C-alpha cells in the first residue's frame, strides 16, 4: 500500500502522466497518485483491468473482483499502461 511518495517524486506532477491517452481494450494498472484530489478507494491500488471507453477526461476501467466484473471511472493520472 502506497502511503507516501519517495523524496525524488515530491512536487509537481508530470504533465505527460496527466494527459496520457489509452485505446479501448488496452490493459492498465491502477497506481494511485497521492497528490491529486479526489482520492479513490485504497482497494483499487495495484489492480489491473481493461479500458472500456472514455468519459470526459477519465476512462472507464473494467476490473475483475473475485468473479464479478466491476467498472470504475478513473482519471489517467492514476493509470499506467501494461504491455
- What domains sit in the chain, N to C, each tagged with a CATH number? 15-81 (2.30.30.70)
DSSP for 33-51, please give it: -TTSSSP--GGGTT-EEEE
Place of cell 491500488: 45
Strand partners, 61: 51, 72
The tens-digit pLDDT sequence of the chain (83 residues) is: 778 888 888 888 889 999 999 999 999 999 988 888 777 778 899 999 999 999 999 999 999 999 999 999 999 999 999 98
Which 8-state DSSP code applies to residue 7?
A: G
The pLDDT, as a whole number, for residue 9 is: 82
pTM score over 0.95: no
For the CA atoms of the chain, what is the radius of gyration? 13
The pLDDT, as a whole number, for residue 35 is: 84
Amino acid at each position: 500500500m502506497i502511503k507516501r511518495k519517495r523524496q525524488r517524486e515530491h512536487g509537481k506532477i508530470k504533465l505527460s502522466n496527466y494527459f496520457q491517452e489509452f485505446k479501448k481494450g488496452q490493459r492498465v494498472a491502477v497506481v494511485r497518485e497521492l497528490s491529486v484530489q479526489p482520492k479513490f478507494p485504497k482497494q483499487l491500488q495495484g489492480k489491473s483491468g481493461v479500458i472500456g471507453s472514455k468519459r470526459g477526461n477519465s476512462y472507464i476501467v473494467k476490473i475483475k473482483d473475485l468473479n464479478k466484473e466491476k467498472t470504475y471511472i478513473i482519471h489517467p493520472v492514476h493509470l499506467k499502461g501494461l504491455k
